[in-house]
Amino acid sequence: MKGPETIRSRAVSFFTEIGDITYFALRFFREAFSRPFEFRELLRQCYNIGNRSLLLVGVTGFILGLVFTLQSRPTLMEFGAESWMPSMVSISIVREIGPVMIALICAGRIGSGIGAELGSMRVTEQIDAMEVSGTNPFKYLVVTRIMATTLMLPLLIVFGDTIALFGSALVENLKGEVSLQLYFNEVFDALKYSDIVPATVKSFFFGFAIGLVGCYKGYFCKKGTVGVGEASNSAVVYTSMLLFIIDFIAVFVTDIFFEV
Amino acid sequence: MKEDRSIAPVLELKALKKSFGDNEVLRGFNLELHEGEILVVMGKSGSGKSVMIKCLVGLMQADGGVIRIKGHNITELGQTELDILRTEIGFLFQGSALYDSMTVRENLEFPLRRHKEKLNITESNEELVLEALENVGLADAIDLMPAELSGGMQRRVALARALILKPNIILYDEPTTGLDPITSKEIINLMRTIQKKYKTSALIITHDVDCARVISDRIILLVDGVNYIEGTYQELVRSEDPKVKAFFKT
């Protein structure tokens, strides 16, 4: 009888957690649109999350574009279709690979960072100290971080996609003697609004998910350093799963609205 | 310090109850803190002292009982009223709880952000921060990060932060825990100096008998979630009760 009981208790804790995260998200919307607003902290978080992720996102994007083009080139050449390379790479990167890869990278860097930071603040009573001083810690710590990830992730994804296309263009230039101008002319010819708009919209949701889960895990971190580690780790695991679920839903919604 | 018991206590707990599952931590604890008084609540580790102080400031929800601060029942207050009432209370946390991403200056300025205007404080942030740091002898540390301070210095900065809004009541949660004997004495002396200077009332949670001896006007011994005995240090030391004797002998 142990098996069914274990499954039951796991199912209960799973759905309890889903409920708690939903309540946490609703509280975010309630607090985000009520005074006082923490603009200075929001800007600081945008800087931390956005600016400090640029190098990682840039390097990842560059290598992504480079490798993707190098790997695809022989197959396209086999069919005599290497001229399709700019359009194939740009559509793949802008529509799917860029947003998902960069969001996963950011889940690792930003989500775990937020989980660990808030977790250690919880464990060392800094969040309690904030509350006792008459400041709403949810508004100051959680709302600003979720807003910053929601606003910064689309920008990071646009930046990463652009660098990835430059990486791809470099390979095409070296291997196929395609000029940078010709490559980007092909890219802009291939890309449509139906590629760019859904990808941009879903990147806001990716950013929201990264901030939400990181903050939730850190804010309700259990006592002790083990709890901080777990908060950081589970923030990445939960966010990664959530990103794929959001992506899956986004593909369906895009299919309805844009008839891809 | 002589307190006036003819007027209402600044802080009052009546029949406070708090459980965690089947574990009843507080089972009807009572307390009255009068103006200008230093009240020490003592008890073994895990006796519910920290739970009590957290219920008192609304960090934990009590299961039953009444908590009155300056006549306000905090369980009946909305968040805004509670936040305003909290400005009249300074809280020194056991582990100092300094914001480690902020400098000492920013740590001290933090409580001023929301409440300076509401409390009609006319001095500039700089003046207030310097005054608070001078009180604890750490004006030179103003631009340091908490990680650059020793444990004793962190506790003093935390005390300065607790004082920044000039509260009437200061709550100390294990103020000398984790400090060496010399630094503990420095902190205790600082607490006395501040109490004399600002005429605050203080509630101290500790298991440090030395701290209680030096600073207390009155002591409550918390055993099994209820008031076990109450009196001055001298009275409790002379007690023949085995539980009290065991506690003060250690």
ipTM given for this complex: 0.88
Q: What is the reported pLDDT for A118? A: 95
Q: Where in the sequence is the domain holding A111, given as residue range(s)? A: 35-258
Residue A18 lies in a domain: no
Q: What is the reported pLDDT for A93? A: 94
Give the global pTM: 0.88
Residue A65 lies in a domain: yes
The reply to whether omega before A36 is within 30° of 0 (cis) is yes
Distance from CA of A120 to the nearest CA of B (A): 10
Q: What is the reported pLDDT for A91? A: 93
Question: Could you report the per-residue pLDDT of A200-210, keeping only the tens digit for each?
Answer: 999 999 999 99
CB A129 within 8 A of CB B173: no
Question: Residue B67: helix, strand or coil by DSSP?
Answer: strand
Q: What are the residue ranges in chain B where pLDDT is below 70?
A: 1-7, 117-119, 250
Residue A192 lies in a domain: yes
Burial class (CB in 10 A: 0-12, 13-18, 19+), A53: buried
Question: Could you report the per-residue pLDDT of B67-112, keeping only the tens digit for each?
Answer: 999 988 988 888 888 888 888 899 999 888 999 999 999 999 998 8
Decide if pLDDT at A161 tops 80: yes
Tally of domains within chain A: 1
Q: What is the reported pLDDT for B8? A: 76
* pLDDT grade for A226, boundaries at 50, 70 and 90: confident
Chain A residue whose CA is closest to B98? A126
Residue A181 lies in a domain: yes
Decide if pLDDT at A42 tops 90: yes
Would you call A124 and B94 a contact, using CB atoms and an 8 Å cutoff? no
Mean pLDDT of all residues in A212-222: 93
Query: HSE of B137 in the Cβ direction (CA atoms, 13 Å)?
Result: 11
What gap in Å lies between CA A179 and CA A163, rounded to an integer?
A: 16
Q: What is the reported pLDDT for A1? A: 56
What gap in Å lies between CA B29 and CA B18, rounded to an integer?
A: 10
Q: Which residues of A touch B (CB under 8 A)?
A: 36, 117, 121, 124-126, 128-136
Token output for A100: 């998902």
Here the contacts of B136-143 (C-beta below 8 Å, separation 24 or greater) are: B136/B160, B136/B190, B137/B190, B138/B104, B141/B104, B142/B103, B142/B104, B142/B105, B143/B103, B143/B104, B143/B105
Q: What is the reported pLDDT for A260? A: 54
Mean pLDDT of all residues in A166-192: 89
Token output for A12: 């209960």
Q: What is the reported pLDDT for B1? A: 47
Among the ranges given (A96-105, A138-147, A189-198), the one the predictor scored with the smallest mean pLDDT: A189-198
Would you call B100 and A132 a contact, using CB atoms and an 8 Å cutoff? no
Q: What is the reported pLDDT for B244? A: 86
Task: Specify the residue for token string 């977790």.
Answer: A119
Question: Could you report the per-residue pLDDT of A97-121, keeping only the tens digit for each?
Answer: 999 999 999 999 999 999 999 999 9
Candidates A47, A125, A228: best to mutate against B (most CBs of B within 10 A) is A125
* pLDDT grade for A95, boundaries at 50, 70 and 90: very high
| % of chain A exceeding 90 in pLDDT | 68
Chain B residue whose CA is closest to A126? B97
Kind and range of the H or E run holding A216: helix A193-219
Residue A56 lies in a domain: yes
CB A135 within 8 A of CB B107: no
Chain B hits for A125, CB-CB cut-off 8 Å, are: 93-95, 97
Q: Which of A117, A125, A136 sits opposite B97 (nearest CB)?
A: A125
Residue A9 lies in a domain: no
